[in-house]
Amino acid sequence: MASAPAKVILFGEHAVVYGRPAIAVPVHSLHADVEATPSPAGAGVRIAASDLGRTVDLRDAPEDDPLALAARLTLDALHAAPPDVTLTIRSNIPVASNLGSGAAVSAALARALAAALGAELDDARLSALVYEVEKLHHGTPSGIDNTVVVYGQPVYFVRDQEPELFAIRRPFTLAIADTGIASPTRVAVGDVRALHARDPDFTTPRFDAIGAIAHTARFAIATRRVATLGPLMNQNHALLCELTVSCAELDALVAAAREAGALGAKLSGGGRGGNMIALAEGVDRDRLKRALCEAGAVRVIFTEVR
């Protein structure tokens, strides 16, 4: 058995693609699990993804199948021949909701296949492997999803630099509300790229401001000033709205969270759907969940960041 957690981006999405810092944290209550079991001789590698209604035979899977690519990259990294094994995937991470479902599945699959071979991939090699699979999902990913999912720790991330794993000095609670709308990260990232190409004088100061927010938030977390994260979340959301990656459904959830007492709220991830996160410190959870559901959330979970 192998597992990998979901993730949320606290600060810095989209700007992280352009070299500004971002902060992401694992969500251990949501995870992908992969079980490796022996298959008959000559069966090769089979991947059973019951949640997706798919079974993949590695021998005839296309090159652009992300499950097959994760398995092939693992075998290449270990210089191993395909074993006779069935990899069964189970995940409670909603797909296309900016929670890192694809990265978590790839990481858990690679770990399970390596274990079936009596081997192990270190976190750095595994993260690089998962990043290659993420390119199929997102086109030009920042690298933050594979990093936080593989390491399973909070990450301060700047593209093309070594990720900084850090400790949460004072745990805090987030509410994660799902719009129920699939969030095509590849499309949102592409639209921001097109906007940046057309009008860099508009986008660049907003990327800078988002990066400054992430830097300030890192200091606030390090100094236990959790309450100050709320206003920073509000500022980050406003800037993402200006970059056109929010939507009416996300804005409704943000407003509902704030009205129900959350200290701050913002979209998390690519936007245009997916999830909103809210700082739920000192808030009546039942009241907050009810308000979010009434505002259109299809599911609400609470997670402690620690």
**Which residues are designated catalytic?**
145
* 120 residue type, one letter: E
Burial 243-265 (b: 16+ CB within 10 A, else e): bebbbebbbbbbebbbebebbbb
Neighbours of 286 (CB within 10 A): 8
Given a contact cutoff of 8 angstroms between Cβ atoms, the answer to whether 178 and 267 are in contact is: no
Cα separation, 193 vs 200, in Å, equals 10
| Residue among 8, 4, 64 at smallest CA distance from 301 | 8
Q: Where are the alpha helices (DSSP H) in 117-199?
A: 123-138, 144-151, 185-198
| CA separation for the pair 91, 51 (Å, rounded) | 7
